[in-house]
Amino acid sequence: MGFILSVSSMKIDVPFFCLGTTVKLKVTEISSMDQIHNFEGVAFLEGRKVLEGKLTVMDVTEEQIKSIIKENN
């Protein structure tokens, strides 16, 4: 489980993916420090690259999520 912290360098060549469409992803972790992880990814639709970008996420435990929910209720 985790939180998306940022999405950057996003390039999308299609307005949407149709229901039932198979999208193939290639994702590589480019760096990691403690609970923060950075990934680069590419999405392919029928063999054609239709999306690329970078994603930064933070690992969280179930206990951390429960604490955040409790604080915001």
Rounded Cα distance between 17 and 69, Å, is 32
* pLDDT computed for residue 8 by the predictor: 95
* Predicted TM-score (pTM) of this structure: 0.77
Below-50 pLDDT ranges, the chain: none
* pLDDT computed for residue 55 by the predictor: 96
* pLDDT computed for residue 48 by the predictor: 95
